[in-house]
Amino acid sequence: MITDGPRLRPDLAALPSYKAGQRPAPRTDITTYKISSNESHFAPLDSVQAAIIAAATEINRYPDPFSTELVAAIAHHFGVPAEHISLGTGSVALCGQIIQSAAGPGDKIMYAWRSFESYPIWTGIAGAQSIQIPLKPDETHDLDAMLHAITPETRVIFVCSPNNPTGQIVDPGELEDFIASVPSEIVIVLDEAYIEYVPEEKRSDSIRLYRENSNVVVLRTFSKAYGLAGLRVGFTISQEPITNALRKTALPFGVSSIAQAAAIASINAESELFERVASVTAERNRVSSELIEMGYQLNPSFANFVWLRLGLRTDVLHQALEQAGLSVRPFPEEGLRISIGEREANNRFIEVARQVSIESDVLR
């Protein structure tokens, strides 16, 4: 028998690969900045570093597979039962577990588009089909269109608020009506990776929504506001049926002992971390106002990044930013997502955006 090597699933070839934010090219003439992945630009707090170092002395052992202490800390923090928490190696892994828990070939996963690029990848890996509902012109979710697109095959709906990469939130009242209208057999994921950057009065009460709805999953991460992107830990809050499924589909020992310790230390240091969040949101607002003053069109961002929908002119600003040592996240012919970083990085971004607005047709 003649073979051409290993026989792999042909449908995987059609899957997009995850495009991680790039690091800037090394330069000797200027300081470069990575503002492409919505990370925290702050180094870990001393208390968190100390917890990491202490945990490092025991890495000859497997981690606690149930992350008992971290689960208890999260449960206490949100005032929910420990049985309602599941942990994952980043919330991106939990996105995949949710899909694998609810859907397979022939099923459909719905989400706004453009949104988090993990959704189509996990959907494809599960052999399910994506239903992408275009964002409204103001970059917010079109919840009415999503409702109308539901079919008997729909298994999971992702609602990303604030939305990556557009930075817009879903109105709390509209979300509540939406959840009430979606059949309760469909899992609704509230992806709140950036929720800490939203003013409190604008946030949905997602904890109440999960309490009142057995099909709602609240998805959170330690990667952004808590500054632990490198350690890979995220969590869900949902009632038992979903939580139990997520615990089953989890990678055994996936969340390392170091990640567990660092996450607990971060919960304990939350007030310090939220001061950092406040400084990022202040910078975000400053950057946004400057851009608007120059004539850029943008909607106020509710996350730790700004989104410029530049369409075919995306490349002009992208090239100029790269030249200036700023690595941002381009979506070719669509727009640029620029993370809020160090003050120097933000200032340089503003200056480059200004130069480009004067010297090119970026503003048309």
Ligand X SMILES: *Cc1c(COP(=O)(O)O)cnc(C)c1O
The HSE-up count of residue 66 (CA atoms within 13 Å, CB side) is 7
Angle among Cα 175, 176, 178 to the nearest 5 degrees reads 60
DSSP string for 8-42: --GGGGGSPPP-PPPPPPP-SSS--EE-SS----S
Cα 340–Cα 90–Cα 167 angle in degrees, nearest 5: 35
Choose between 133 and 324: whose C-beta lies nearer to ligand X. 133
Nearer to ligand X, 158 or 178 (CB): 158
Contacts of 137 (CB under 8 A, 6+ apart): none
164 in helix, strand or coil?
coil
Is the Cβ–Cβ distance between 161 and 190 less than 8 Å? yes
The nearest distance, CB 246 to ligand X, in angstroms, is: 14
- Please state the closest distance from residue 125 (CB atom) to ligand X, in A: 15
> CA-CA distance, 229 to 216, in Å (whole number)?
25
Rounded distance between C-alpha atoms, residue 115 and residue 143, angstroms: 14
Q: How far is the CB of 229 from ligand X (least distance, A)?
A: 6
Number of residues written out for the chain:
364
CB of 160 to ligand X, least distance (A): 5
Place of tokens 């055994």: 252
Nearer to ligand X, 124 or 165 (CB): 165
- Number of residues engaging ligand X in binding (CB under 6 A): 14
| Cα distances (Å, whole numbers) of residue 250 to 10, 62, 75, 84, 89 | 26, 16, 19, 15, 9
Specify the pairing of strand 329-331 against strand 216-221.
unpaired
Min dist CB 106 to ligand X, Å, is: 26
Q: Taking every pair of C-alpha atoms in the chain, what is the biggest distance, in angstroms?
A: 69
Part in contact with ligand X (CB under 6 A); list of ranges 87-95, 179-187, 206-214, 274-282: 87-95
**Least distance to ligand X, CB of residue 193, Å:** 4
Distance in angstroms (rounded) separating the CA atoms of residues 331 and 164: 12
Taking residues 206 to 245 in sequence order and writing x for each that binds ligand X by CB under 6 A, - otherwise, the string is ---------------x-xx----x----x-----------
Least CB distance to ligand X at residue 49 (A): 19
- Smaller CB separation from ligand X, 41 or 313: 41
Which is nearer to ligand X, 44 or 325 (by Cβ)?
A: 44
Instruction: State residue 275 phi and psi, 5-degree precision.
Output: -65, -40
Q: Given the structure tokens 């990469």, which residue do they identify?
A: 165
Q: Which one, 263 or 362, has the nearer CB to ligand X?
A: 263
Nearer of residues 224 and 247 to ligand X, judged by Cβ: 224
Nearer to ligand X, 191 or 283 (CB): 191
Q: How far is the CB of 231 from ligand X (least distance, A)?
A: 9
| Residue closest to ligand X, measured at CB | 90
Least distance between ligand X and beta carbon 91 (Å): 4
* Selected binder of ligand X within 87, 193, 231, 353 (CB under 6 A): 193
Please, which of residues 89-148 interact with ligand X by CB under 6 A? 90-92, 116
Nearer to ligand X, 74 or 92 (CB): 92
Using CB under 6 A as the binding rule, whether residue 160 contacts ligand X is answered as yes
Considering only residues 31-50, where is the footprint of ligand X by CB under 6 A? 38
Beta-carbon contacts of 151 under 8 Å, excluding residues fewer than 6 positions away, are 108
Q: Which residues contact 145 (CB under 8 A, 6 or more apart)?
A: 133, 134
Q: Name which position in 164, 260, 266, 346 contacts ligand X (CB under 6 A).
A: 164
Interface positions with ligand X (CB under 6 A): 38, 90-92, 116, 160, 164, 191, 193, 221, 223-224, 229, 234
